[in-house]
Amino acid sequence: MNQLVCLLPACPESLGTNAVPQIAAVRVRHVARVIDDGDAREAIDDNLLTHVTWIHSHLPLARAFVTPEIAIADSGFATDTFNIVMRARMSKRRAGVAIPATVARMAGYGRPYCWWHGPLDTPADLPARLEGAGLARAGESLAMVADLDDLPSVVIPPALTIRRATTVAEVLDFARVVAANWSPPDDAVVAFYTAGAPFILRPDSPIDLYVGRVDGEPVAAAELCLVDSVAGLYSVCTREAHRRRGYGTALTLHALHDAREDGAEVGALQAADQGQRIYARAGFRTVGVYREYKPGG
C-alpha cells in the first residue's frame, strides 16, 4: 500500500489510499514573482520537494513522508537517485532524536539513499550531525533561480528534435537517457520510470519529461516540475557520445519556454559544476548550495 505525502506530523486516518496528495492538487497557480534570495530559496525547496515525492506518492511499493521537520522519499528501488531525505527543519533538541531515527529508518529499508542538506535546513550544525550519524559528504550543487521573462531565445541545433513525452514509450526513452549517466546504465532508473509512467502522463501531473532525438535516437533529456508559478528543472543530461553540441542547452530553454507559456514565472534548479556556466548564461543566479550526504562515504 502506498504511503501518501502528508503536510502534517502524521497522515490523517481518513486519507484513503487513492487520495491525491495535497502537493499535486494544483498544476500552476500564480503567486508573486520571486524577487529576493530568501523567497527564491523557499521556491526552490518547495519545487524540489514535489520533484522528490510526487511520483513516490502514487507507487504501491514506495513511501513519501513529509512532516514539519523532515521529508523522506523511498522509491522501493535500489538507487539513491530516488531514495532521499531532505528539508530538515529541526530544533537542536529535536535533531538529537530525529537524525538517528531517520538514519535508522532509511537503513531499515535496505536501499541506497542520500540526504540533501539545503540552504534553509536547520539546525545550523546539521552537516556535523549528519557526519556524526555515519554519513559522509558526497557532493554539492548550486541552487539557482531565474526570472522567466528574461529567458534567451531557444536555438535548436539542426540535427536535434525535441518532444514532450506523451506516451509510455517516450517516458522510457527519457528514462534510458538518464540511466546512461552511469556506467553501466542504472537499470533501477528505468524501472522507476516504468512504474511511474502512468502517473507522470496524467493531466494533473506536475511533471513533464522532454526527450531530444538525433535521427530518431534519444540522446538528451530534461524534466520540468511545475509547482505554483515555479518551474523546476531536473535531470538535464546528454548521452556521452553526443555532448558538447548544445543539446542540453536547447532542451533547457525549450522546457523553460514551455513552462512560461503554461504560466510559470520563475525557473529553479540545482546545478552541478559542469552546468553552472550554461545556466548563468541563461539568466540564472545563485542563491544557495545543496550538499549531498551518503552512508559510509
Q: What is the pTM of this model?
A: 0.87
Decide if pLDDT at 48 tops 80.
Answer: yes
Decide if pLDDT at 2 tops 80.
Answer: no
CA separation for the pair 257, 255 (Å, rounded): 5
Query: How confident is residue 295, by pLDDT bands cut at 50, 70 and 90?
Result: very high
The angle at the Cα of 5, spanning 70 to 168, to the nearest 5 degrees, equals 125
The three-state secondary structure class of 285 is strand
Sole residue written with cell 528534435: 161
pLDDT of residue 16: 28
The three-state secondary structure class of 40 is helix
Query: How confident is residue 36, by pLDDT bands cut at 50, 70 and 90?
Result: confident
Query: Are 293 and 137 in contact, with CB atoms under 8 Å apart?
Result: yes
Query: How confident is residue 3, by pLDDT bands cut at 50, 70 and 90?
Result: very low
Q: How far is CA 56 from CA 64, 65, 208, in A?
A: 6, 10, 16
Mean pLDDT on 189-210: 98
pLDDT of residue 49: 97
Higher pLDDT, 81 or 277: 81
Q: What is the pLDDT of residues 147-162, one digit of tens each?
A: 999 999 999 999 999 9
C-alpha cell at 260: 512560461
Mean pLDDT on 254-267: 96
Decide if pLDDT at 23 tops 50.
Answer: no
DSSP 61: T
Query: Are 228 and 44 in contact, with CB atoms under 8 Å apart?
Result: no
Q: What is the pLDDT of residues 67-110, one digit of tens each?
A: 999 999 999 999 999 999 999 999 999 999 999 999 999 999 99
The three-state secondary structure class of 85 is strand
The domain ranges of the chain are 22-141, 148-289
CA separation for the pair 85, 105 (Å, rounded): 11
CA separation for the pair 295, 297 (Å, rounded): 6
The three-state secondary structure class of 165 is coil
Query: What topology does CATH give the domain 148-289?
Result: Aminopeptidase (3.40.630)
DSSP assignment string, 115-154: EEE-TT-BSTTHHHHHHHTTEEEEEEEEEEEEEGGGPPPP
**Which candidate, 201, 275, 200, places its Cα nearest to that of 237?**
275
Sole residue written with cell 557532493: 139
- Determine if the peptide bond prior to 12 is cis (ω within 30°): no
Query: Are 209 and 196 in contact, with CB atoms under 8 Å apart?
Result: no
Decide if pLDDT at 32 tops 80.
Answer: no
Query: Are 223 and 207 in contact, with CB atoms under 8 Å apart?
Result: yes
Task: Tell me what percent of the residues of the chain surpass a pLDDT of 90.
Answer: 83
Query: Are 105 and 68 in contact, with CB atoms under 8 Å apart?
Result: no
Q: What is the pLDDT of residues 104-126, one digit of tens each?
A: 999 999 999 999 999 999 999 99
Higher pLDDT, 10 or 166: 166
**Which candidate, 48, 79, 80, 78, places its Cα nearest to that of 66?**
48
Mean pLDDT on 6-33: 34
**Which candidate, 65, 248, 28, 274, places its Cα nearest to that of 148?**
28
pLDDT of residue 10: 31
Decide if pLDDT at 273 tops 60.
Answer: yes
Mean pLDDT of the chain: 88
pLDDT of residue 1: 35
Query: Are 96 and 62 in contact, with CB atoms under 8 Å apart?
Result: no
